[in-house]
Structure 1
Amino acid sequence: MSESSTERHSDGRIARGERTREAIVEAHAELLREGVLKPTAKAIAERAGISPRTLWINFKDLETLLEATTAYWLDADAVLRTPIDASLPLAARIDQFCRQRALRLEHLAPAARSAVLGEPFSPALAAARRELIERLRRDLLETFPAELSAAGGVDGALCIALMAAASGMTWSFARDDLGLDVDAGTAIMRDTYARLLGA
């Protein structure tokens, strides 16, 4: 086999491996969206159209798979983020922030429900939660800089209260425990933000 043919063969193998890994992660995500909170390797492999052995060839253990899956959800969350102009009137910023936050929380909800079960035992899931908390903090600082600066910054009670009001746990309480729809959950978040920010 010529050097060129060897390189093409190697590139093709790498590309196939990447497609297989992507199919596994997508299969895992699909099962979470369908409410399967702890999908088995067999279920993930079947959904991806591969054998369990192939799954574990591509991901050496569950933690490695969770690292890839959390990266998938975090990447998707980042795509949904749109910067909000901090010079807009406060009411407009609150409305835009809460609408966007609800969209992102609703998108992440299937993964969040599953993560609750595994987070105490998974560094990947714990790291993903920390990253999402930091994203929320950064979004608040960029959207409400003047208000937060006047109220103690990121360590102030106002910032902490705003984070709590827009957290995944609060969204889950509204959607899953109280049975509210997305519009009602968003309205409650918006009203809470208006009260906290004095809008």
Structure 2
Amino acid sequence: MLSEHSGAVQRPQGAEEAVDGRSARRSRGRAAAIDAVLELFDLGELRPSADVVVERAGISTASLFRYFRGLDELYRAAFEEQVARAQLLARIDAPEDLPLDERVARFLAGRIDVYESVAGVGRMARARAVDHDDVAVALDLARGRWLVQVRQVFAPELAGRTRAEARSLAAAVDAVASFEAWDLLVGARGTPRRAVEAHWTTALTALLA
């Protein structure tokens, strides 16, 4: 007699464990490759080769190209991973309950924390976006999230303005505290963080007050 479960395919426990083990190894390998690329970006290697990546990640070249279809996909995955981490650093809870000066201070501190942590991948993305559409799309999405943050944090100051005025003001605030502005001040001119915060505080307060 057939049991009521005879129609179901029963996978042996050992086979399930083998599949789980492969999935875990794949996840660890992907993560190692992404972390290696991010470290290399931070060291100034904006186009690291597969050989350099696998040596730093401790994986084989064959494994690398099982995890990613090519280096461009790996670079994009590293960029997206860093963007996800950045969202946590820049988060401001219940900004509507804070006075303007405190919102400005938290907003700027969060952005600079992010820029300091993503400098390498940020430079990579901007360099490669010129001739890599997938990186350009990912970069545009990240920039869109930054603009959304401006609108959320400074919603009281944007309210009551015309749509065009609010859009222009949000864009100006976002540009003042952008990665590009930070990289010019810090990367090119060596401006200390405290001075950057002071310059940006003055500019944002003038725009928003």
Normalising by the residue count of structure 2, what TM-score does the alignment of the two structures yield?
0.86
Find the residue that maps to 1:120 and give its secondary structure: coil
State whether structure 2 residue 12 is matched by structure 1 residue 12.
no
Give the letter aligned to residue 148 of structure 2.
Answer: R
Distance verdict in 2 for CA 1:15–1:38, change over 3 Å: same
Find the residue that maps to 2:191 and give its secondary structure: coil
> Structure 1 stretch 8-17 or stretch 123-132: which is displaced more?
123-132
Give the letter aligned to residue 147 of structure 1.
Answer: E
Distance verdict in 2 for CA 1:124–1:69, change over 3 Å: farther
Residues matched between the structures, number: 197
1:164 aligns to what? 175
Question: How far does residue 145 in structure 1 lie from its aligned partner after superposition?
Answer: 0.8
1:107 aligns to what? 117
Q: Superposed, which structure 2 residues align to 1:45-60 within 5 Å?
A: 45-60=54-69
2:90–2:113 contact (8 Å) kept in structure 1: no
1:42 aligns to what? 51
2:206 aligns to what? 195
2:36 aligns to what? 27
2:92–2:107 contact (8 Å) kept in structure 1: no
Which whole-Å deviations, capped at 9, do the CAs of 1:120-148 have from their partners, x for residues lacking one?
A: 22233212211221221111111111211
Normalising by the residue count of structure 1, what TM-score does the alignment of the two structures yield?
0.91
1:149 aligns to what? 159
Distance 2:141 2:163 in 1: 19
1:165–1:189 contact (8 Å) kept in structure 2: yes
1:120 aligns to what? 130
Question: How far does residue 161 in structure 1 lie from its aligned partner after superposition?
Answer: 0.9
Question: How far does residue 106 in structure 1 lie from its aligned partner after superposition?
Answer: 1.7
Distance 1:98 1:64 in 2: 31
Question: How far does residue 169 in structure 1 lie from its aligned partner after superposition?
Answer: 0.8
Question: How far does residue 153 in structure 1 lie from its aligned partner after superposition?
Answer: 4.5
Q: CA RMSD in A?
A: 1.8
2:46–2:124 contact (8 Å) kept in structure 1: yes
Question: How far does residue 7 in structure 1 lie from its aligned partner after superposition?
Answer: 1.1
Q: Superposed, which structure 2 residues align to 1:68-147 within 5 Å?
A: 68-84=77-93, 85-147=95-157
Question: How far does residue 103 in structure 1 lie from its aligned partner after superposition?
Answer: 1.0
Which whole-Å deviations, capped at 9, do the CAs of 1:149-183 have from their partners, x for residues lacking one?
A: 23444753211111110111111111112211222
Question: How far does residue 47 in structure 1 lie from its aligned partner after superposition?
Answer: 0.1
Give the letter aligned to residue 47 of structure 1.
Answer: R
Larger Rg: 2
